[in-house]
A and B are shown apart, each in its own frame.
Chain A
Amino acid sequence: MTVMPVDRGRGGLVASISGQMTPLPAERVPLTGVRIDVVAQGVASAVTVSQRYVNLEKMAVEAVYSFPLEEQAAVFGFEALIGDKRVVGEVMEKDKAFDEYDRAMAEGDGAYLLDQDRPNLFTASIGNLLPGQQAVVTVKYVAKLERLGDQVRLKIPTTVSPRYIPAEQLRQMDPSEFDHLNPPTVPGGVPYGLALSVSFKGASTVTSVECPSHPVRVSTRGKNATVELSGPDVQLDQDLVVTFTMKDAGESALYLARDDAGDSILMLDVLPPRDVHRASVEAVFLIDRSGSMMGSSIQQARSALLLALSSLQEGDWFNVIGFGTQVDQLFDRSVAYADESLSRARAAVQSWDADLGGTDIMTPLTRILEAPAGELPRRLLVLTDGEVANEADCLALAGRHPETTVFTIGVGRGASDHLVRGLARAGRGQAEFVHPGERIESALMRQVARLTTTGLLEPRIDWGGLEVDLSAPAQLPPLYPGSPLTVFARVPGHGGTTSDADAQIALDDLAGRIEIALTTTSPECEVRMTAAADLADSAADAAIPRLFAREAIRDLEEGRAGATARGSQQRDRREGRVRDSIVELATRYTLMSSYTSFVAVEQREGEAASDLPPAELRRIPVALLADWHGSGVVAGLSMGKGRAQRMPGLASPSPHPGLCLEAYDECSASSIHGFTPGRGPSFSLDGLDSLVVASTGEPSAHADAALVVLVGHQRADGSWPLDDGLFVLYGVPGDRLSALATALHDAVGADADTTATALAVRLLRGQFADLRPQWHLAVEKAEAWLASRGLRVGVDDLWAALDHALRRWSLPYADGAGSDSPH
């Protein structure tokens, strides 16, 4: 890719891609390989990224490589190994570090620099790599493990995607920043590969390991698991995603560690209760339809959104907005959730494509957030791949509008975790990520469940009389059921006492009995915790002070800590103070930040190094993201290339083997097999056939598509119509459906809609039991509707009558029926 910033009036981006016909000249790419080693245990993963550079040319070169790391990364180490000589990087204020690098280069020394361009994007510069010389550069970081219920999810990015840069930003952007954000990008692979290993130790027995992104080798023993890429030199063209499922969900815990200066760092990891109470909300769905969403991402988005729409309830208001460079807003303003608005939304969403241009997310965000708030709490769900350069503006905008809670879902093979996590942080919501090999529906329904909860649980923490001099995050986000909240606090070393003489508490004496209380605005949620950690033991976990410092820096970088300022002079002073605070924290804890860099110098002696000709620049090209712009996409809800790799012997077989109930031959002609392209007749279900055709024919895709079709027929009030064209797909032919309706009418006085609704609920609970997170809101709504029908008998009698009829005709779902059925 050549870097060509151009002013296109209103339009932005522009990244260029190499269309070269000649093979990449490998000798001009001094990077020969990347190795990533992950050790994940306790609260964090410790990651070492090693990059091997070899200069095969006849002159000295300066290799410049821009690469991604996890946004959560607290980068604490940078060093270079040149032969047997090791030079260790030092953290310095950014300009000083560069001066040091520039000076070393001018004097002919080996110079090594690591810059943070974004919290998830870094650039390593290897200056003066001599002909024939080899240097191995290592970057070390720790990142908090991402827990979700009984799972831990690792997401390691490997490439930098072309991103949208608004024209205004392009005009003002520092050219070297632009260069770092837009490394040369080549389709078809780069001449250096990736090797990776993950060593995981869970809190309980590991029951399964899945890697939807890459073919891997997995081995497990008890709480331990290891994962390795199964081929050598894998392309760095998409995120590596690994999910470890354990026997038990973790518990809330309090950890204690000591930093190098002798201060104590407390880390409180709270797992809120799972119960949720549904409230009426204004739900706004903002869906990225820019060109970068082409292919699997937009397909995922469509099917997920159809499910989300079915999960709202009467009483809610909603709107659906697609955006690219243009904005496609379904309703001028949010409307009441009713059959007509729901039908319009479903029809619109099905026709959506990734055809709206660049990712100009600021325009719709501004429009949504600045609209006057109504009576209902406004909850915004943003679904995007996040490939933009103006993350800071987006985060600041969300932070200025606390009346709207922002939830995000990052989709695709390389979603920008900085934008996706950052927006949710600023908007006090939650972020989720979905790789094309994973089910987007699960993540989306978790988000819908969060965004429809009654008044958010605002936590408050009482540090039990300890004198806390800095805590992070500075502003606690709300607690969401099932989503862990992590809070850090620093207690000054041996003087860790309160000012009240009667309550003097020396932290050293407290090991094993510190009591921390976390309470919320709701009496339903109160957590009291006692420290389980012992100071002596916890000192071993060096990750905690670094995680704490990174979180505190993030607060400062994103404007959530430090005084607010109005005038321009005040703003300048404030910026100066924030900068000083960041540099102070980063140098104390040896961390990268927006204002600090790592620099290392390899003194070269004996030759007149500075007399050598200046090093030639070698910008390291990066691989174009796999499936970028839909390249290589097969129609499908999940991608062929990134098929989930399940651990042999531990994975449960799919409960949806084709979904066709072979025992019912009379229905097979139009059974669910019709979902497979080229198999069975095509059919139309109110336009849902486009979704249906998009299925790959994989069992899980079948199940998802079949579920979307069924739920897509639910009315706004929660009921289903007695539609024989629908139920025949699930093994209930038309004549049996009529007989069922008659039987239920005679037995309990059920009308046609009641029969259809009861049958649909039975179907969801039985046939789609393992997809419960995706339909439970729809079923709750249906059951509320059934309860309000005023049947002449109780609802229990309705279920009994339904089961009786299903058994009588040997129809599926009898008995079934259901493990999950409450009846």
Chain B
Amino acid sequence: MPTEPQRYSIGELSELTGVSRRTVHFYVQRRLIDAPLGKGRGRHYDQRHVDQIRRVRDLQRHGVPLGEMAGGGLARLAYGQPDSPSRRLAQSSEAEPPRLGAPELAPVLRVRIDDNVTVEVAQAVSLTPELIADLASAVSAIMSKHRGAGAEPAPAASLGPGTHQSDPSEPEEEEER
């Protein structure tokens, strides 16, 4: 007879995974992990949530930005695309973690152009709103050109990862530098 799956409260989940209650909530709201099971007072978490949180923490430790995991993106990164680095990571915890771009010493600021493109700029550069707008405009033009005629434009830019509704059919996120 199968045993009843273990059920966890948010406090227990927090203790098991070493992240705060607020972070569990934060991950759910950003769709980095599944919503709790049940409703109202019967709401709970299970082993799947424990595994998902551990995976998110792993990916974060290995430098994968939360923005790239958000909006269902974690599932896509981890399982959705056969050759995605995250899938390899998910399959083998021994694997060398993927690094996004070459290691750099200088701190950077990231300018998110749209859901698919983020530009990194050394913090020493004077990043004025005008420059941000020019950068966004130029990069968007390049992307449209390479997407070819008839390609749909990128979805409306989001304000943050929580509002990010990624379409899994979109190409893998990429970076320009």
A residues near B40, Cβ cutoff 8 Å = 106-108, 610
Chain A nearest Cβ from B19, distance in angstroms? 7
Chain A nearest Cβ from B35, distance in angstroms? 6
Q: A175-B19, A629-B128 are in contact. List 11 more A-B contacts (CB 8 A).
A: A1-B112, A2-B67, A3-B66, A5-B65, A6-B100, A13-B107, A13-B109, A18-B157, A18-B159, A176-B25, A611-B39
Partner of A631 from the list B35, B60, B128 (CB cut-off 8 Å) is B128
Contact B112 A629 (CB under 8 A): no
A residues near B110, Cβ cutoff 8 Å = 2, 4, 14-17
- CB proximity to B under 8 Å, residues A97-130: 98-99, 102-103, 106-108, 115
Contact A184 B65 (CB under 8 A): no
A20 at the interface (CB under 8 A from B): yes
B residues near A103, Cβ cutoff 8 Å = 41
Contact A20 B36 (CB under 8 A): no
Contact A631 B19 (CB under 8 A): no
Contact A621 B160 (CB under 8 A): yes
Chain B nearest Cβ from A390, distance in angstroms? 13
- CB proximity to A under 8 Å, residues B84-105: 100, 103-105
Contact B23 A357 (CB under 8 A): no
Contact B123 A16 (CB under 8 A): no
Contact B162 A174 (CB under 8 A): no
A residues near B140, Cβ cutoff 8 Å = 21
B residues near A107, Cβ cutoff 8 Å = 40-41
Contact A8 B132 (CB under 8 A): no
Q: A2-B161, A18-B157 are in contact. Are A106 and B36 (CB under 8 A)?
A: yes
- CB proximity to A under 8 Å, residues B53-106: 60-63, 65-68, 100, 103-106
- CB proximity to A under 8 Å, residues B149-164: 156-164
Partner of B105 from the list A10, A98, A292, A624 (CB cut-off 8 Å) is A10
Q: Which residue of A lies closest to B67 (CB)?
A: A2
Contact A9 B10 (CB under 8 A): no
Contact A20 B136 (CB under 8 A): yes
Main secondary structure on chain B at its contact with chain A? mixed
Chain B nearest Cβ from A413, distance in angstroms? 14
Main secondary structure on chain A at its contact with chain B? loop
A572 at the interface (CB under 8 A from B): no
Number of residue pairs spanning A and B whose beta carbons lie under 8 angstroms apart = 212
Q: Which residue of B lies closest to A15 (CB)?
A: B109
Q: Which residue of B lies closest to A180 (CB)?
A: B22
B50 at the interface (CB under 8 A from A): no
CA–CA, A657 and B41, complex, Å: 72
A179 at the interface (CB under 8 A from B): yes
Q: Name which of B27, B108, B161 has the most chain A CB atoms within 10 A of its CB.
A: B108
Q: A19-B132, A291-B124, A630-B126 are in contact. Are A6 and B21 (CB under 8 A)?
A: no
B30 at the interface (CB under 8 A from A): yes
- The proximity string for A residues 7-35 relative to B, scoring 1 for CB distances below 8 Å and 0 otherwise, is 11111111111111110110011000000
Contact A3 B67 (CB under 8 A): yes
Q: Which residue of B lies closest to A621 (CB)?
A: B159
Contact A617 B29 (CB under 8 A): yes
Q: A2-B67, A617-B162 are in contact. Are A171 and B61 (CB under 8 A)?
A: yes
B130 at the interface (CB under 8 A from A): yes
Partner of B159 from the list A11, A162, A186 (CB cut-off 8 Å) is A186
B residues near A115, Cβ cutoff 8 Å = 22
B residues near A21, Cβ cutoff 8 Å = 114, 133, 136-137, 140, 157
Q: A21-B157, A291-B124, A630-B128 are in contact. Are A162 and B109 (CB under 8 A)?
A: yes
Contact A175 B137 (CB under 8 A): no
A95 at the interface (CB under 8 A from B): yes
CA–CA, A619 and B25, complex, Å: 13
Contact B10 A102 (CB under 8 A): yes
Chain A nearest Cβ from B118, distance in angstroms? 7
Contact A184 B159 (CB under 8 A): yes
B residues near A1, Cβ cutoff 8 Å = 112, 159-160
Contact A16 B109 (CB under 8 A): yes
Contact B19 A618 (CB under 8 A): no
